[in-house]
Amino acid sequence: MDRIQKRFALSPRLFSKATEMISRVFKSVSPGNNVEILSLCL
């Protein structure tokens, strides 16, 4: 996990794109819980 986090830290654009994709997935899976999950991730 450290290696992945370092890679994300080096490329903020990639990180934002990844979080965008993750949030979309959570919205499609569970619209009610996505806020809780996102707050946990952040």
Q: What is the pLDDT of residues 29-38, one digit of tens each?
A: 766 666 676 6
What is the pLDDT, as a whole number, of residue 32?
63
Give me the chain's average pLDDT, please. Answer: 72
Residue 23's CB is within 10 A of a number of other CB atoms, namely: 15
For residues 24, 26, 27 and 30, what is the CA-based torsion angle, rounded to 10 degrees?
160
pTM over 0.85: no
Q: How far apart are CA 26 and CA 42, in angstroms?
A: 14
Contact 26/34 with Cβ under 8 angstroms?
A: yes
